């Protein structure tokens, strides 16, 4: 017989959700336009629950008013916890003991879920206890259980330190089915003992753990996917919950406006570009052990940090500017541009965005020529427009192809002959087959008109640390840029990393070689998909053209996100012909890349079928 009753604990203040809880209780915080609690009541009635007992506390009158108005056909019972500020949920459950006369669901009021996840609890064997559990992931707080036996049951909930959970650990969702006999008997007695002893600061889970440890009862395990529910304790949780409840189109728009931070959401990110095999665990552990200092203490100024970076790249630190990512440097190196800036396109859009529109001169690269940069044609274009700067990315983003080193030198020398500077972005150079041998960094002294930019965030896999560098033999150019950055533009975490990374040069080189091999394998996998044309790549990503007969890139990106939870880069915003047909797909390692190829093949096949049906 299905469970017909639910007890929902909703007495807390929700201080961690301030200011959303400044004037309303936590259970009434809106997520995608509907309160957490009202959504939960709707989910419960959808699976056949007839009576919902709500234990209120902080601003309880608001809960009563909203639920009564929103669910007039539901049998709602309200129990108020007058002592909600000084007691924990063990007391709220005690106050609901009059409703233990039949099997019931016990639920917390700060969780959103898919209604179907409640079905195993509602339809489970009568007279049994059960817990909804989910594979423990890194962002989940709270007690862990293990699932053992047949039928599967849970062990007593225990606290597992952050970062120490393993594959056999599961998180309790805090949704339970409680048998009436257990609730009316031992549970009521233990709750009463706690109340009599005024021991009301504990959680009811401690009693469940006690009952399991003493062999008094068992809790069946009902396992649900971590994507099917979410607990909302703070503003970050709220943002993620909002994302999960958006439509596919809204999810895509949400991601497109973030320009990063995708890891917070249930998304496999094949959009952002970084080294998935670096830094080594030793580096991360070293920094983690010094977390207190890195949070509290000031970093060094520019000069000492540049000295550590100079040792890695074997360059005079006086020729370096260390920045908060290349994105900090791009507007600085082009800030004084008064003459035209020539940019081969498609390119990284920031180089075009920071220059006055009238000064940007695009030099189109064409697919028929493999998006190759012709050195002579580029310099002739720069000469014709009277350029003051030529921007060159190699390997190029988004096309992935590298300009041969000899051609780069010809461009630098040709630019010098017409009085122009070359801004050379080598952010992906270490992923080329020849690695750093392709870099012009050792040649700086011979080319004072050359400025090299390099994103360590990408090549070293430390995007969150935001590290970029500028290198030039032009002392005046270095001084000009240094004057425009703050004295502490590099945070202590980034400095700690830079003080360590020279010791791991071999591991770094090995990781880049692995990225190169995996990206080439990804390119082969993508090329095998009917409907995709894949361009050769020297970077850690692949540039692809979708057959117009299948559809366009924006539609493919949306479908892939909706059906597979995978996010790739739609290049329709690039300055190029036929841009809506192009995708940029980053390598995440062998397993994720293989999964992507399978998913992409399914989505493209579905699009091809839909396109045929439309015709």
Residue 244 belongs to what H/E stretch?
Answer: helix 235-244
Q: Can you tell me the distance from the alpha carbon of 416 to that of 446, in angstroms, rounded to the nearest whole number?
A: 11
Asked whether the predicted pLDDT for residue 615 surpasses 70, the reply is no
| Of 357 and 66, the one with more pLDDT | 66
Rg (CA), the chain: 30
Domain 282-497 has CATH 3.20.20.80: no
Determine the CATH number of domain 5-237.
Answer: 3.90.550.10
Do residues 174 and 111 make contact, with C-beta atoms less than 8 angstroms apart?
yes
Q: What is the Cα 77 distance to its own chain's centre?
A: 41
* CA angle centred on 230, ends 225 and 233, rounded to 5°: 150
- For the 250-275+508-614 domain, the top CATH level (class) is alpha beta
pLDDT at position 450, please?
Answer: 98
Asked whether the predicted pLDDT for residue 453 surpasses 70, the reply is yes
Closest CA to 231 of 130, 146, 136, 95: 136
Q: Can you tell me the distance from the alpha carbon of 431 to that of 438, in angstroms, rounded to the nearest whole number?
A: 10
Q: What ranges do the domains of the chain cover?
A: 5-237, 250-275+508-614, 282-497
pLDDT digits (tens, 9 = 90+) for 513-560: 999 999 999 999 999 999 999 999 999 999 999 999 999 999 999 999
Q: Mean pLDDT score of the chain, rounded to an integer? A: 93
Window from 12-16, 58-62, 578-582 with minimum mean pLDDT: 12-16
Asked whether the predicted pLDDT for residue 5 surpasses 90, the reply is yes
pLDDT bin (cut points 50, 70, 90) of residue 276 is very high
pLDDT digits (tens, 9 = 90+) for 466-492: 999 999 999 999 999 999 999 999 999
- Same topology, domains 5-237 and 250-275+508-614? Answer is no
Return the SS3 of 100: coil
pLDDT digits (tens, 9 = 90+) for 384-419: 999 999 999 999 999 999 999 999 999 999 999 999
Q: What is the mean pLDDT of residues 579-592?
A: 97
pLDDT bin (cut points 50, 70, 90) of residue 124 is very high
Q: How many CB atoms lie within 10 A of CB 475?
A: 11
Q: What is the mean pLDDT of residues 283-312?
A: 94
Asked whether the predicted pLDDT for residue 163 surpasses 70, the reply is no
Tell me the CA distances in angstroms from 548 to 38, 231, 552, 582, one per residue in order.
Answer: 45, 42, 6, 10
Asked whether the predicted pLDDT for residue 142 surpasses 80, the reply is no
pLDDT bin (cut points 50, 70, 90) of residue 160 is low
pLDDT at position 342, please?
Answer: 97
Q: What is the mean pLDDT of residues 446-471?
A: 96
Q: What is the mean pLDDT of residues 592-599?
A: 97
pLDDT digits (tens, 9 = 90+) for 197-247: 988 888 899 999 999 999 999 999 999 887 788 899 999 989 988 888 888
pLDDT at position 139, please?
Answer: 58
Q: Can you tell me the distance from the alpha carbon of 462 to that of 501, in angstroms, rounded to the nearest whole number?
A: 11
Asked whether the predicted pLDDT for residue 91 surpasses 80, the reply is yes
Contacts of 325 (CB under 8 A, 6+ apart): 455, 457, 466, 467, 468
Q: What percent of the chain has pLDDT over 70?
A: 97
Asked whether the predicted pLDDT for residue 166 surpasses 80, the reply is no
pLDDT at position 475, please?
Answer: 96
Q: Any bridge partners for residue 6, and if so which?
A: 52, 105
Q: How far does the chain reach from its first CA to its final CA, in angstroms?
A: 51
């Amino acid at each position: 017989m299905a469970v017909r009753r639910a007890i929902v604990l909703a007495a807390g203040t929700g201080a961690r959700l301030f200011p959303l809880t400044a004037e309303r209780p936590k259970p009434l915080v809106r997520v995608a336009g509907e309160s957490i609690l009202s959504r939960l009541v709707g989910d419960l009635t959808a699976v056949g629950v007839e009576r919902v007992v709500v234990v209120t506390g902080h601003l309880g009158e608001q809960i009563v008013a909203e639920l009564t108005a929103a669910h007039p056909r539901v049998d709602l019972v309200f129990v108020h916890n007058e002592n909600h500020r000084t007691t924990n949920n063990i007391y709220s459950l005690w106050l609901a003991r009059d409703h233990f006369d039949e099997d019931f669901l016990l639920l917390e009021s700060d969780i959103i879920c898919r209604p179907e996840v409640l079905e195993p609890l509602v339809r489970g064997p009568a007279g049994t206890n059960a817990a909804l559990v989910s594979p423990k992931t890194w962002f989940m707080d709270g007690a862990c259980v293990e699932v053992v036996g047949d039928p599967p049951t849970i062990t007593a909930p225990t606290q597992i330190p952050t970062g120490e959970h393993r594959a056999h650990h599961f998180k309790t969702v805090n949704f339970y089915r409680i048998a009436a006999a257990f609730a009316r008997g031992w549970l009521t007695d233990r709750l009463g003992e706690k109340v009599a002893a005024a021991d009301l600061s504990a959680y009811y889970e401690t009693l469940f753990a006690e009952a399991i440890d003493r062999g008094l009862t068992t809790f069946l395990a009902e396992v649900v996917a971590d994507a099917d529910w979410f607990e909302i304790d703070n503003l970050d949780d709220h943002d993620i919950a909002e994302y999960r409840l958006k439509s596919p189109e809204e999810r895509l728009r949400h991601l497109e406006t973030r320009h990063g931070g995708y890891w917070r959401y249930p998304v496999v990110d094949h959009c952002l570009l970084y080294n998935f095999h670096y830094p080594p665990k030793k580096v991360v552990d070293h920094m983690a052990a010094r977390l207190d200092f890195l949070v509290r203490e000031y970093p060094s100024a520019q000069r000492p940090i540049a000295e550590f970076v100079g040792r890695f790249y074997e360059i005079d630190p006086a020729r370096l500017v260390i920045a908060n990512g290349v994105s900090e440097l791009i507007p600085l190196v082009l800030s004084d541009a008064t003459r035209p800036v020539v940019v081969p396109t498609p390119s990284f859009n920031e180089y075009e965005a920071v220059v006055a529109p009238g000064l940007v001169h695009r030099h189109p690269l064409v697919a028929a020529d493999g998006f190759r940069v012709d050195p002579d044609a580029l310099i002739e274009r720069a000469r014709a427009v009277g350029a003051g700067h030529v921007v060159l990315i190699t390997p190029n983003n988004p096309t992935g192809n590298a300009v041969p080193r000899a051609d780069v030198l010809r461009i630098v020398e040709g630019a010098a002959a017409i009085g122009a500077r070359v801004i050379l972005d080598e952010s992906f150079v270490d992923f080329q087959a020849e690695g750093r041998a392709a870099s012009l960094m050792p040649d700086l002294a011979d080319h004072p008109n050359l400025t090299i930019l390099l994103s360590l965030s990408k090549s070293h896999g430390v995007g969150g640390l935001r590290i970029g560098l500028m290198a030039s033999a032009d002392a005046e150019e270095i001084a000009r840029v240094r004057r425009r950055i703050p004295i502490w533009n590099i945070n202590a975490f980034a400095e700690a990393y830079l003080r360590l990374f020279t010791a791991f040069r071999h591991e770094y080189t090995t990781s880049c070689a692995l990225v190169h091999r995996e990206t080439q394998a990804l390119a082969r996998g993508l090329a095998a998909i009917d409907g995709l044309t894949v361009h050769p790549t020297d970077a850690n990503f692949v540039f692809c053209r979708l057959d117009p007969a299948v559809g366009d890139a924006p539609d493919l990106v949306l479908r892939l996100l909706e059906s597979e939870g995978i996010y790739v880069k739609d290049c329709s915003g690039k300055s190029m012909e036929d841009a809506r047909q192009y995708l940029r797909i980053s390598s995440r390692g062998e397993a994720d890349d293989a999964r992507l190829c399978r998913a992409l093949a399914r989505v493209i096949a579905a699009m091809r079928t839909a396109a045929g049906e439309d015709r």
